[in-house]
Each structure stands twice: as structure tokens, then as C-alpha cells.
């Protein structure tokens, strides 16, 4: 872990150094030949590299992101973002209990402040609480100052502690990172968790299609990303999770909470695939149907 974090710190410095060198090289090229193509390459290519590391959830240079876990069994990790929600959370807890499933709820500090009792219910049912920032600043987190990143981390941590939760796992909003995130997480003992399969439950499709798409991609050790609350269309709230648990059980999968030593970082994650023109798996079995 420590060796990996040192490597990430080195890579972050390389990104910054590359930005500076690229801009200087571009200026030098343009002095010799104004607006040359080579100068444009030096100027813009480092920017694209940095943007990739910021906005691609599974990228590893700025922060070590766990995208799957090691297991020899039919096991997956169910993670649920954007709660707690006074309507959805209690219903999700009931569904999880029906299937003897465990999940990690990556919650928002400002929502925990409104409904702190829900955090206690999640923990009492044997589930885990994760950190998902305080305000979910999806539009500005990538360019936030170090002070802003610290506030997002510390304000949520304080609220969670008051609600009885001590967190060790963090997920940035929509997987977007920040150049200061890696060092700030390390100093707080937080591990960054991404996903293997993003369900797409916020996109407003049919619940059956969403579950079928997840089951098409399922494999042991996968981290599944789902949501609760207002970020999910009303007709999909809780229903997707319920149908997914049924489909997983039919395929012999269990939803577990992996230990930290099981977590693995990878370069790629699986995203929702378009359905047009593709055979659709059965919701209950995952087998391909017409």
C-alpha cells in the first residue's frame, strides 16, 4: 500500500512537470515557427493526459482506485451511492435482508446531517458506510482547491462520526478525481473505491434492461455501482436493486463486504453498453434471449 502510494505521488508530480515542460516547449517552437503544429502538440497533449487522469474513474496516476476484489467464490460487492434517503434507505435495507446480502452505502455528509438515524440503521443491519464527500460537488471537484477538498472530506467525516460511523472507504463524486485527492485521502486513512460495473440506474431506462446489462457483465470480484434517492428516476428507485439481487441469487452470486487486503486496483472498468441491436440477457438467469 505504502509503495503504491509513493508511486502515485511520483506520477502526480510527473503530470505537473509534463504540463510545465509542454507549455515551455510549445512557446519555444512558436518562437522559431509561429503556430507550428509541433508547438500545438507540446501545448495541448499534456492537458489531455491530465484531463484523462481527472475524469476517467479507473485512472490510477492521481489516486489509487480499487476497481475489483480478489475472490475464488461467486461473490460481488454491492455499493450504493448518494444516500441516505428517508424513503429509499429503509426499503433497500429490507430488500437486502430478504436476500441475506451485504452492501456498502457511500453517503453524503449533508444528507447524513438531515437523517443521521439512517446511518445507525445501516450499521445495525450489518452493512458498511462509505464516504462520498459532503456536498457531492460533481461540477467543481476536479478543479477544487486543496482547502475545498479538505472541507469536503472533513465536514462529512465529522457528521458521520457524530452519527456513529467511522469510515475507511471513499468514492469521489461520479468517480472524478482532484490533483490533491491522493495525498488528502492518505493523510486521513481513506481508500478510494471505484467500480467494475456501473449500472446506469440514473439514466431512466427500464429496470429490467438495467439489470440485464449488469448481469451480462457480471464476474466474481466485481464492484457494482448503484444509487438511491433523487438521483434515480422515481420508477427505478429500489426496484433496480431488488431485481438485481434476484438475478444475482439465480446465478449463485452473494453480495459481500470484501476485506481491505482483497481490494485490487485496475486500469479499466466496465460501463453500460447500448442495447440497440444487441441480444438482451434474461433478468433472472443472465442467459441471452432474443
Active site residues: 81, 227
- In 3D, which of 189, 211, 186 has the Cα closest to residue 201? 211
- In 3D, which of 54, 26, 63, 27 has the Cα closest to residue 41? 26
Question: Cβ neighbours of residue 236 under 8 Å, at least 6 residues apart?
Answer: 201, 204, 207, 210
**Residue-level length of the chain:** 290
Compute the distance between CA of residue 113 and CA of residue 244 in angstroms, rounded to an integer: 29
List strand residue ranges (DSSP E) for 88-170, in order.
103-107, 128-131, 169-170
Q: What phi and psi, each to the nearest 5 degrees, are found at residue 187?
A: -70, -15
Q: Is 83 helix (H, G, I), strand (E, B) or coil?
A: strand
Give CA separation, 242 vs 92, 93, 219, 239, 251, in Å: 8, 10, 19, 5, 15
State the sign of the Cα–Cα–Cα–Cα dihedral 185, 152, 15, 197: positive
Contact of 93 with 125, CB cutoff 8 Å: yes
- Grid coordinates given for 214: 449488469
- Grid coordinates given for 30: 512558436
Contact of 66 with 195, CB cutoff 8 Å: no
**Number of helices (H), then strands (E), in the chain:** 9, 12
Amino acid at each position: 500500500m505504502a509503495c503504491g502510494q509513493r508511486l502515485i505521488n511520483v506520477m502526480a508530480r510527473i503530470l505537473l512537470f509534463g504540463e510545465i515542460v509542454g507549455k515551455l516547449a510549445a512557446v519555444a517552437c512558436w518562437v522559431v515557427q509561429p503556430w507550428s503544429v509541433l508547438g500545438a502538440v507540446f501545448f495541448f497533449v499534456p492537458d489531455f493526459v491530465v484531463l484523462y487522469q481527472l475524469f476517467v474513474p479507473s485512472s490510477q496516476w492521481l489516486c489509487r482506485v480499487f476497481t475489483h476484489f480478489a475472490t475464488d467464490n461467486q461473490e460481488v460487492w454491492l455499493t450504493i451511492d448518494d444516500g441516505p434517503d428517508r424513503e429509499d434507505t429503509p426499503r433497500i435495507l429490507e430488500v437486502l435482508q430478504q436476500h441475506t446480502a451485504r452492501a456498502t452505502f457511500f453517503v453524503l455528509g449533508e444528507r447524513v446531517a438531515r437523517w443521521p438515524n439512517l446511518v445507525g440503521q445501516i450499521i445495525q443491519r450489518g452493512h458498511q458506510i462509505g464516504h462520498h464527500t459532503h456536498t457531492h460537488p460533481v461540477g467543481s471537484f476536479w478543479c477544487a482547491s486543496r482547502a475545498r477538498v479538505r472541507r469536503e472530506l472533513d465536514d462529512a467525516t465529522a457528521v458521520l462520526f457524530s452519527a456513529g460511523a467511522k469510515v475507511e472507504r471513499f468514492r469521489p463524486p461520479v468517480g472524478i478525481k482532484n490533483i490533491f485527492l491522493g495525498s488528502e485521502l492518505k493523510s486521513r486513512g481513506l481508500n478510494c473505491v471505484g467500480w467494475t460495473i456501473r449500472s446506469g440506474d440514473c439514466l431512466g431506462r427500464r429496470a429490467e434492461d438495467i439489470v440485464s446489462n449488469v448481469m451480462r457483465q457480471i464476474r466474481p470480484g466485481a464492484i457494482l455501482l448503484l444509487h438511491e434517492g433523487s438521483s434515480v428516476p422515481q420508477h427505478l428507485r429500489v426496484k433496480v436493486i431488488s431485481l438485481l439481487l434476484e438475478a444475482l441469487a439465480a446465478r449463485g452470486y452473494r453480495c459481500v463486504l470484501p476485506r481491505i487486503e482483497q481490494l485490487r486496483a485496475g486500469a479499466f472498468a466496465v460501463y453500460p453498453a447500448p442495447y440497440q441491436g444487441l441480444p438482451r440477457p434474461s433478468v433472472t438467469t443472465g442467459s441471452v434471449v432474443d
